[in-house]
Amino acid sequence: MSRKKTEQEYRKTFAFHFFRWLNGEKDPYLGEVEMKPQEPYKETEEEVKARIREKNMISRRLYGVAKSKEMKGLERFYKAASIIFCCILIYLLLFTVSYLPPVGTADRPVNNEVPQRYIENGLQETGAVNIVSGMILDYRAFDTLGESHVLFVATVTVLILLRLDKKKKNDGEISIEEAEANDRIYEPKNDAILQMAAFVLVPIIIIFGIYVILNGHLGPGGGFSGGAIIGAGLILYLNAFGFQKTERFFTEKTYKWISFGSLSFYCIAKSYSFFTGANHLHNIIPKGTPGAILSSGLILPLNIAVGLVVACTMYAFYAMFRKGGF
Amino acid sequence: MTVFTYLLMGFLILCAISVSLSKNLLNSILIYMSYSLIMSIIWVILESPDLAITEAAVGAGITSVLFFVTLKKIHAIGGKERSDEQEENGTGIS
């Protein structure tokens, strides 16, 4: 029989405190610790001048020190030491390389049964004409999943470091509106040559990227390179026409949903494939005829997923670096 | 073909050395771009076109654009005199 605690008893439990803290209803420091708002940092013109004079004096004195004999000797010693260190490092590395087996011989340690299996049975087992695609998206698909997640984590880190808030908070930080205004002032806009070139080039670049992604299992290319090409096309479009035009089809929400959808699709599709492969279950994904565009099972959709993630990541990197937001 | 390959290898080493020796950061990035381009041609000669496409798109394209944007943010492209002026006037101090 469960007993419902009274309000007074519940207020003493750990769960009450935990959920109150989780929902942000009470600040644990408020009322407990004495706090004073920080005074805004201000300095008069004389102080600024004094500071600059001091800085110039220090730099002059340092410059004088750099001219002295001892410093010159040290500088020369550092230069000589760095050259000797580089030479020793190069010698050690080349010495190690000389012990490696020569390239192209039959009895190298890399010539074991693994590449033999890939080369002989790769086409049958994966259905991909391009063996590299078959390897990275079928045999070693787990590695590729890790790679796409590394890209995603890199974007999240850049987001944490460079993102600006929607609202202005402190005195030092600039809000996203100010950043947009700065961007509008400092970046050249309505450049006729750039716009005309982008007008011609961007569709071709993006179509080439789509071609590279869709032909990943038939020829050279694949998700990563195709996605990078599409990202480059998007960056060119952004440079020519500005953020107002790109916001019509690419916002932060678009980035979020495309990344989330692609990565989770990759996870689910590949876990299904691993599960059926490991447990000898019937695989419902057909291999198709090798050489056709709709062939080789999961490789084509996985390529598309990786390409979408990479294209969005490249565009997001650029937008973050330039403005601090989409 | 071997002469061409050795020529490319020589350019590669030349680019790698001159990136670190160049005083101008903008020149360094441009040399780095050409390094990537030569590297992608070498990948084609080594019969790995997958890597060649990725090297050309990422190495010569995206990375250099990100470097350019970073240089612009820290006022390293053509902004040397301006930032010095700001220091003198006391406006560049936050």
* Residues belonging to chain A: 326
The residue in chain A having the minimum alpha-carbon distance to the alpha carbon of residue B75 is A186
| Residue with tokens 């979020």, as numbered in its chain | A256
Q: A49 contacts in B (CB within 8 Å)?
A: 90
pLDDT confidence of residue B85: 44
> Between A and B, how many residue pairs show a Cβ–Cβ distance under 8 A?
55
> What's the rounded Cα separation, in Å, for the pair A52 and A46?
10
Number of H helices, E strands in chain B: 5, 0
> What's the rounded Cα separation, in Å, for the pair A256 and A262?
10
Q: B57 contacts in A (CB within 8 Å)?
A: 225, 228-229, 232
Classify A13 in phi/psi space as left (phi over 0), alpha (psi -120 to 50) or beta: beta
Long-range contacts of A241-247 (CB under 8 A, 24+ apart): A241/A195, A241/A198, A242/A184, A242/A187, A242/A189, A243/A180, A243/A183, A243/A319, A243/A323, A243/A326, A247/A326
pLDDT confidence of residue A231: 92
Residue type, A119: I
Cβ–Cβ of A318/B69 closer than 8 Å? yes
* Residues belonging to chain B: 94
Q: Residue range B82-87: average pLDDT?
A: 46
Q: Does A221 touch chain B (CB under 8 A)?
A: yes
Q: At what angle do helices A141-162 and A299-322 cross, to 10 degrees?
A: 20
How would you write the pLDDT of chain A (326 residues) with one tens digit per residue?
A: 567 777 888 888 888 888 888 887 777 677 677 777 777 777 788 888 888 888 888 877 777 666 677 778 888 999 999 999 999 999 999 999 988 887 777 777 777 888 888 888 878 777 788 888 888 888 888 888 888 888 889 888 988 888 776 666 565 666 666 666 666 666 666 778 888 999 999 999 999 999 999 988 888 888 888 999 999 999 999 888 888 788 888 888 888 899 899 999 998 988 887 788 777 777 777 777 777 777 777 888 888 998 999 999 889 888 888 877 76
Q: Across the interface, which of B53, B70, B88 has its CB nearest the CB of A221? A: B53
pLDDT confidence of residue A201: 93
Q: Does A237 touch chain B (CB under 8 A)?
A: no
> What's the rounded Cα separation, in Å, for the pair B45 and B55?
14
Q: What is the ipTM of this complex?
A: 0.77
- Other C-beta atoms lying within 10 Å of the C-beta of residue A312: 25
Burial class (CB in 10 A: 0-12, 13-18, 19+), A241: middle
> What's the rounded Cα separation, in Å, for the pair A225 and B61?
11
Q: Does B88 touch chain A (CB under 8 A)?
A: yes
Cβ–Cβ of A321/B73 closer than 8 Å? yes
Cβ–Cβ of A317/B52 closer than 8 Å? no
> What's the rounded Cα separation, in Å, for the pair A137 and A127?
11
Residue pLDDT, tens place only, B27-66: 999 999 999 999 999 999 988 888 898 888 888 888 888 8
The per-residue b/e assignment along A269-287, b for 16 or more CB within 10 angstroms, e otherwise, is bbeebeeeeeeeeeeeeeb
The reported pTM is 0.71
> Over 50: is that where the pLDDT of B86 sits?
no
What would you measure as the largest C-alpha separation in chain B, in angstroms?
60
Partner B, chain A 134-173, Cβ-Cβ below 8 Å? 172
- Radius of gyration of chain B from Cα atoms? 18
The residue ranges of every structural domain in chain A are 45-97, 130-322
Helix (H) or strand (E) holding A164: none
- Other C-beta atoms lying within 10 Å of the C-beta of residue A108: 12
Contact A128, A300 (CB under 8 A): no
| Residue with tokens 């490696």, as numbered in its chain | A100
Q: B45 contacts in A (CB within 8 Å)?
A: none
> What's the rounded Cα separation, in Å, for the pair A70 and A54?
25
**Alpha-carbon distance B65 to nearest alpha carbon in chain A (angstroms):** 8
